[in-house]
């Protein structure tokens, strides 16, 4: 362990063992339709590796059963690097349209597939550095892919479940903000023999008991060991939303349309409340009022109703 590494609670090993005990008896979606299960068993070994990679790319910010449905549709059509490369983006998007960020994932799958064909002879790379160089693949996906497809454990795959529960267990510093921060913190002290299994353990726990909102602490056998037990259950489980998606692009932020509102009130007051200023051109004033009240409020569709009402009230004053 590094000299200044984070020190977890003294009872971490007991809590870890209890989580393993819980998961041995508790089946979760990740156990049946997780990414490691979403491949065609009759396909070649390399094609199965490609299926697991695509499943991981589709899984970010998406429920397991939705990812499974998308993968099953692709596999039925024919899911090989060659076929996906020839597939149009529109057709590919049609297969995965139910998953989160499907438009961006479509582009990344196409780009990653082209890289696999051109630089890796149609085989998903086995080196970590080559994996994270693929579009849409970050540390979490790369580590999970190597674990599930090749049985190679180089690090911990941290998604929102692992990130959230590690915080609740106080297994990471309170200052961590992202899943990648959590990965580094966990790897600084957690024995490497646990790196390959911790994702499945905590993801399953997070899907069933230690849920994002209103965790079921009263049903959790590990509650007596958890430093955060019942705290979020009492407060409604309100937590900051953590983005799990890796390299899928920046979420679109709607721009402020305050200027539309400014113009709306400008025209309303200028033409409606001071009509005498335009007494010499009543027809032109009426047209301006009509256009202002009808067009400017387009920034908020609900204002069409108020625009129409105001037209009916104010226009007679100019005729």
Q: How many CB atoms within 10 Å of residue 48? A: 17
Report helix, strand or coil for 202. helix
Encoded tokens for 12: 């971490």
Is 107 a residue of the active site?
A: no
Nearest CA-CA partner of 70 in 51, 45, 48, 89: 51
Judge contact between 29 and 67, C-beta under 8 A.
no
Nearest CA-CA partner of 198 in 19, 5, 14: 19
**Which DSSP state fits 254?**
P
Residues 141, 134, 97: CA angle, nearest 5 degrees: 70
**Which DSSP state fits 251?**
P
102/59 Cα distance (integer angstroms): 10
Determine which one of 140, 177, 231, 255 is catalytic: 140
Residues marked as catalytic = 140
């Amino acid at each position: 362990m590094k000299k200044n590494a984070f020190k977890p609670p003294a009872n971490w090993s007991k809590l870890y063992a209890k989580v393993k005990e819980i998961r041995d008896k508790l089946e979760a979606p990740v156990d049946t339709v997780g990414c490691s299960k979403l491949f065609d068993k009759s396909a070649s070994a390399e094609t199965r590796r490609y299926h697991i990679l695509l499943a991981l790319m589709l899984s970010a910010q998406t429920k397991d059963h939705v990812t499974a449905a998308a993968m099953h549709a692709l596999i039925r059509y024919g899911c090989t690097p060659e076929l996906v490369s020839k597939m149009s983006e529109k057709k590919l998007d049609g297969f995965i349209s139910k998953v989160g960020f499907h438009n961006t994932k479509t582009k990344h799958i196409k780009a990653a597939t082209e890289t696999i064909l051109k630089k890796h002879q149609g085989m998903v790379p086995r080196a970590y550095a080559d994996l994270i160089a693929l579009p849409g693949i970050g540390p979490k996906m790369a580590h999970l892919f190597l674990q599930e497809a090749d049985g190679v454990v180089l690090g911990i795959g941290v998604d929102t479940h692992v990130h959230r529960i590690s915080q609740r267990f106080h297994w990471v510093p309170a200052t961590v903000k992202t899943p990648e921060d959590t990965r580094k913190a966990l790897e600084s002290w957690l024995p490497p023999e646990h790196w390959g299994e911790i994702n499945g353990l905590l993801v399953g726990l997070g899907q069933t008991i230690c849920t994002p909102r209103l965790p079921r602490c009263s049903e959790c056998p590990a509650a007596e060991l958890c430093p955060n037990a019942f705290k979020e259950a009492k407060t409604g489980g309100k937590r900051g939303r953590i983005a799990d998606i890796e390299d899928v692009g920046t979420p679109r932020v709607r721009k402020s349309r305050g200027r539309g509102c400014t113009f709306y009130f400008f025209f309303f007051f200028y033409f409606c409340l001071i009509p005498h200023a335009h007494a010499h051109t009543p027809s032109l004033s009426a047209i301006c009022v009509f256009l202002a009240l009808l067009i400017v409020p387009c920034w908020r569709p609900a204002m069409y109703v108020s625009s129409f009402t105001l037209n009916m009230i104010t226009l007679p004053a100019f005729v």
